[in-house]
A and B are shown apart, each in its own frame.
Chain A
Amino acid sequence: MTETTIPRGNTLPRIRPWLGIAAAASFVVASVMALFWAPTDAVQGNVYRILYVHVPLAWLAYLAFVIVFLASVGWLWTKNPLFDAIAVSSAEIGVLFTGLFLVAGSIWAKPTWGVWWTWEPRLVTTAIMFVMYVGYLLLRGLSTDFSRRATRAAVFGIIAVIDVPIVHLSVLWANSLHQLPTVLRAGGSPALDSSMLLTLMVSLGAYTLIYAYFMTSRVSLELARIRRLWTT
């Protein structure tokens, strides 16, 4: 591979400041709505407000790992280093988001279920997903050869995505303590109050912008690292 095959990524620095401003502004609005504007839940009280960070982070983690899958296919298909940069960036952010939604979910579970953790299907499959993508990041450290490392990681990234639908559907397949889908449920509209749904959607938008901002920054870093690797 020559340096000319490595994308320069000139577009990312131009849009990143605007993405950062949009992410920060929407994050403030979403946080105010989640903590103060959304009504108190009749059953759970205020502790349900944790779900305004738990649920968007979970959905964004799913998205991040699906993007790892797509970028992995892209690398194997084209051998363009941009796809490898996208895959590792999305995996890293996906691991961060998965760790955070596990912790937020655990904090919500203590006052709601009475335990920090229980070995039920949704939690176990999520923990497996977390460990698998930590493994994906560790696997990348096993080889210094760029193409070999990217190819091994891509194969792992394609296989590991199988766990994403398993995590989401585990509550339907098994008798689970975790509640069933409230928004993304088959054959029905979202089963929550309109102001709660609006707050959830604003939070989802805010965390999507944060994911996009992190991605532009991380992909730029990775491309610069690859460029350094091939010019030294």
Chain B
Amino acid sequence: MDNLIFVVAAFAIVWGALLAYLISLRARGA
């Protein structure tokens, strides 16, 4: 797959940030 590193990086950053926000909501008591 051409430019695989860019696709993986973009998806990983988005998924990671969404997961981090979900964890922060849980940590705040949601």
Residues of A whose CB lies within 8 Å of any CB of B are 31, 35, 45-47, 49-50, 53-54, 57, 93, 96, 99-100, 103-104, 107-108, 110-111, 210, 214, 217-218, 220-221, 224
Contact = CB atoms under 8 A, between A and B. Distances in A.
A35 B28 CA distance: 33
A107 B28 contact: no
Contact of A103 (B4, B13, B30): B13
A218 B25 contact: yes
Nearest to A13: B30
Contacts of B28: 221
- List 6 tightest A-B contacts by C-beta distance, closest first: A217-B30, A47-B3, A50-B10, A107-B10, A45-B2, A104-B10
Nearest to B4: A46
A104 B9 CA distance: 9
Contact of B30 (A46, A49, A57, A220): A220
Given A100-B17, A104-B13, A214-B21, A50 B6 contact: yes
Q: Which of B2, B4, B9, B30: most chain A CB closer than 10 A?
A: B30
Interface residues of B, number: 20
Contacts of A93: 21
B19 to A, nearest CB: 11
B2 A46 contact: yes
B25 A214 contact: yes
Contact of B7 (A46, A103, A210, A214): A46
A22 to B, nearest CB: 15
A111 B17 contact: no
A100 B16 CA distance: 10
B10 A108 contact: yes
Contacts of A49: 7
26 contacts: A31-B11, A35-B11, A45-B3, A46-B1, A46-B2, A47-B2, A47-B3, A47-B6, A47-B7, A49-B7, A53-B14, A54-B10, A99-B17, A100-B13, A100-B14, A100-B18, A103-B14, A104-B13, A107-B6, A107-B13, A111-B6, A210-B18, A214-B21, A218-B30, A221-B25, A221-B28
Q: Which of B1, B11, B14, B28: most chain A CB closer than 10 A?
A: B14
